[in-house]
Chains A and B, each alone.
Chain A
Amino acid sequence: DSGVTQTPKHLITATGQRVTLRCSPRSGDLSVYWYQQSLDQGLQFLIQYYNGEERAKGNILERFSAQQFPDLHSELNLSSLELGDSALYFCASSPDRGRLNTEAFFGQGTRLTVV
Chain B
Amino acid sequence: AQTVTQSQPEMSVQEAETVTLSCTYDTSESDYYLFWYKQPPSRQMILVIRQEAYKQQNATENRFSVNFQKAAKSFSLKISDSQLGDAAMYFCAYRSKTGNQFYFGTGTSLTVIP
Binding site for B on A (CB under 8 A): 2, 31, 33, 37, 42-43, 45, 48, 55-56, 58, 88, 90, 92, 94, 96, 99, 102-106, 108-109
A88 lies within 8 A of B100 (CB): no
- Expressed in whole angstroms, the minimum distance between the Cβ of A47 and any Cβ of chain B is 9
B31-47 interface mask toward A, CB cutoff 8 Å, 1 = contact, 0 = none? 00101010000111111
A104 touches B106 (CB 8 A): no
B contact patch SS: strand
- Chain A residue nearest to B4 (CB atoms) is A42
State whether the Cβ of B28 lies closer than 8 Å to any Cβ in chain A.
Answer: no
- Per CB-CB distance, the 7 closest pairs between chain A and chain B, nearest first, are A106-B45, A56-B100, A42-B106, A56-B101, A43-B104, A45-B101, A102-B33
Contact B44 A106 (CB under 8 A): yes
Contact of A108 among B44, B47, B103 (CB under 8 A): B44
Name the contact of A92 in the complex, choosing from B42, B43, B45, B100 (C-beta under 8 A). Answer: B45
Main secondary structure of the interface of A (DSSP, over half): strand
A79 shortest CB reach to chain B, Å: 23
When C-beta atoms are compared, the residue in chain A nearest to B54 turns out to be A99
Within 8 Å of chain A (Cβ to Cβ): is B78? no
CA distance A32 to B106 in the complex (A): 21
Complexed CA–CA distance, A45 and B103 (Å): 8
Do the beta carbons of A33 and B102 come within 8 Å of each other? Answer: yes
Q: Is the CB of B100 within 8 A of A104?
A: no
CA distance A45 to B47 in the complex (A): 17
Q: Which residues of A contact B35 (CB under 8 A)?
A: 103-104
Interface residue from A45, A88, A94, A96 paired with B43 (Cβ < 8 Å): A88
Report A-chain residues with C-beta under 8 Å of the C-beta of B105.
42
User: Which residues on the B side are within 8 Å of A92 (C-beta)?
Assistant: 45, 102
- Contact present for A105 and B47 (CB under 8 Å): yes
For A31, list chain B residues within 8 Å (CB): 99
| Cross-chain contact B45 with A102 (CB below 8 angstroms) | no
Task: Name the B residues within 8 Å of A96 (CB-CB).
Answer: 99
Residues of A within 8 A of B50 (CB): 102-103
Q: Which residues of A contact B101 (CB under 8 A)?
A: 33, 45, 48, 56, 58
